[in-house]
Amino acid sequence: MTGSTARFLATILLTLCAVVMGCSKSGSRSAKGRHAFDAAAPEVKEAWNKAVEADKANDYVTAISAYKQLLSQQTNLQEAQVATVREVLGLLNQRLVTASMNGDSVAREALNTLGAMDRGQVKPH
């Protein structure tokens, strides 16, 4: 196994671990979860909207970075907001890994970039 193949497989395994830890029991967002940010502070709502838009566009790196940034501010979030971010982050990670395993080169590159970010080799967006 080459070094790059080993790194790629390690990145996939780390992402799968994040999926397992990040996914909720229900597997889909509840109506309450979708509206958790409706009354949020403007800066929190803006960060949430940025993450959601990137998620919808399959801009994996931007979306995952934005969701992680929101989670880093947990003291400013309500419990339902934290749960919603964790849930959508888990679902996004799952979608990313599936796309990569199905040969999506954009998803594979995103996994490589996210792995490099986790190792401190690339700065987050």
Q: What is the pLDDT of residues 9-53, one digit of tens each?
A: 556 655 555 544 444 433 334 344 568 999 899 999 999 999 999
Helices (runs of H) and strands (runs of E) counted in the chain: 6, 0
47 belongs to a structural domain: yes
| Span 51-96, pLDDT tens digits | 999 999 999 999 999 999 999 998 989 999 999 999 999 999 999 9
Phi-psi region of 58 (alpha: psi -120 to 50; beta: other; left: phi over 0): left
Whether residue 106 is predicted with pLDDT greater than 90 in this model: the reply is yes
124 belongs to a structural domain: no
Q: What is the 3-state secondary structure (H, E, C) of 33-82?
A: HHCCCCCCCHHHHHHHHHHHHHHHCCCHHHHHHHHHHHHCCHHHCCHHHH
63 belongs to a structural domain: yes
Domain of residue 31 covers 3-118
The total of structural domains in the chain comes to 1
